[in-house]
Amino acid sequence: MALGKKIAVIGAGNMGEALISGMLAARAAAPDDIHATDVAAARLDQAKARYGVRVGVDNKAAAGWADIVILAVEPQVLDHVLGDLRSVLTGARLVLSVAAGYPIARIAARLAPGARVVRCMPNTPSVVQAGLSALSWGEHVTVEDEQVARAIFESVGRVVVVEERLMDAVTGLSGSGPAYVFLIIEALADGGVKMGLPREAALQLAAQTVLGAARMALETGEHPGRLKDRVTSPGGTTIAGLHALERGRLRASLMDAVEAATTRSRELGTE
Ligand SMILES: NC(=O)c1ccc[n+]([C@@H]2O[C@H](COP(=O)([O-])OP(=O)(O)OC[C@H]3O[C@@H](n4cnc5c(N)ncnc54)[C@H](OP(=O)(O)O)[C@@H]3O)[C@@H](O)[C@H]2O)c1
């Protein structure tokens, strides 16, 4: 869906680039509708060469030109960037922030009253358009803003809307989750190597198995327990493997991981 909006991407790093690439691929925006800024000239040259978008180092000029401003700089520089953009980030523009651990209230406090702010928590697979982005709406966000924000983040994967107080839990699950799954893929591949498979084949078997199972869970909408039961025949190989995983407390370990990362995200938010 073409949004017909001018979009400034402040910070053309990993996430900024993923969003530019996704919006163009989904035809949500044309190259001329996007203005990317960064402090690193090499980043801008790359964005211009790869995507043909407008580029520049002047955040204020880009934000002032745009209808939608995506804040994709590191959280530690966001205070400074917001200070610079305060006069242009009025209620006239939609502000989408992807800065991890940076609450809507902290953004709104640095802008004029009435600012329309959406907090977004995408994850790394957004760079291959298989991301998960959680969105929370600020007070002045309109229904049209919600549709626009959804369309932008759907261009890099799936979207869920959550209350902002749950953003730490999102961080603990889908934010940190790709790292858990990378570990699982590596471990499955190690198991394959132990059983005699060549490393490269083992990695492909492991990664594609994770991808395929995830797609089945999402596309069928069936409970994962049911899907598991369907491939677990009495006295067969799979139940033997599942028993080993239960003995190794995989289920409890993964729950502990989400809990620990959520707690850490809360701690970082108060530091
Ligand atoms: N990557 C992810 O998977 C992910 C997931 C969720 C949320 N996020 C959030 O997305 C944001 C960006 O993360 P990232 O991984 O894309 O980081 P990144 O690759 O470092 O991108 C940030 C970019 O912003 C540039 N920048 C710094 N100060 C700037 C300024 N004043 N004006 C314009 N550009 C400036 C940086 O340049 P320098 O490198 O020269 O400083 C860098 O190119 C962060 O807030 C992060 O919390 C990322």
CATH number assigned to the domain comprising residue 230: 1.10.3730.10
Determine whether the shortest distance from the Cβ of 101 to ligand 1 is under 6 A. no
The Å distance, Cα 235 to ligand 1 centre, comes to 51
pLDDT for the residue numbered 268: 87
- The contacts of residue 89 (CB under 8 Å, 6+ apart) are 63, 69, 82, 95, 111, 112, 115
The Å distance, Cα 29 to ligand 1 centre, comes to 21
Asked, for residue 93, whether it belongs to a domain, the answer is yes
The answer on 260 and 184 residing in a single domain is yes
Helices marked H in the chain: 14-25, 41-51, 59-65, 75-85, 104-109, 143-154, 167-170, 177-194, 199-220, 224-230, 237-247, 250-270
DSSP element (H, E) containing 135: strand 131-137
Q: Which atom of ligand 1 is nearest to the CA of 37?
A: 33
**Considering its fold, how many domains does the chain have in total?**
2
Q: Which domain holds residue 227?
A: 175-270
pLDDT for the residue numbered 137: 98
The answer on 183 and 161 residing in a single domain is no
The Å distance, Cα 185 to ligand 1 centre, comes to 27
pLDDT for the residue numbered 83: 95
The answer on 188 and 132 residing in a single domain is no
Residue after which a domain boundary falls, among 116, 147, 165: 165
pLDDT for the residue numbered 269: 80
Determine whether the shortest distance from the Cβ of 75 to ligand 1 is under 6 A. yes
Residue after which a domain boundary falls, among 133, 165, 197: 165
Residue after which a domain boundary falls, among 165, 194, 213: 165
d(CA 249, CA 28): 44
Determine whether the shortest distance from the Cβ of 122 to ligand 1 is under 6 A. yes
Determine whether the shortest distance from the Cβ of 77 to ligand 1 is under 6 A. yes
Asked, for residue 170, whether it belongs to a domain, the answer is no
SS3 206: helix
pLDDT for the residue numbered 271: 74
Determine whether the shortest distance from the Cβ of 74 to ligand 1 is under 6 A. yes
d(CA 172, CA 176): 5
Digitized pLDDT (tens) for each residue of the chain, 271 residues in all: 799 999 999 999 999 999 999 999 999 999 999 999 999 999 999 999 999 999 999 999 999 999 999 999 999 999 999 999 999 999 899 999 999 999 999 999 999 999 999 999 999 999 999 999 999 999 999 999 999 999 999 999 999 999 999 999 999 999 999 999 999 999 999 999 999 999 999 999 999 999 999 999 999 999 999 999 999 999 999 999 999 999 999 999 999 999 999 999 999 888 7
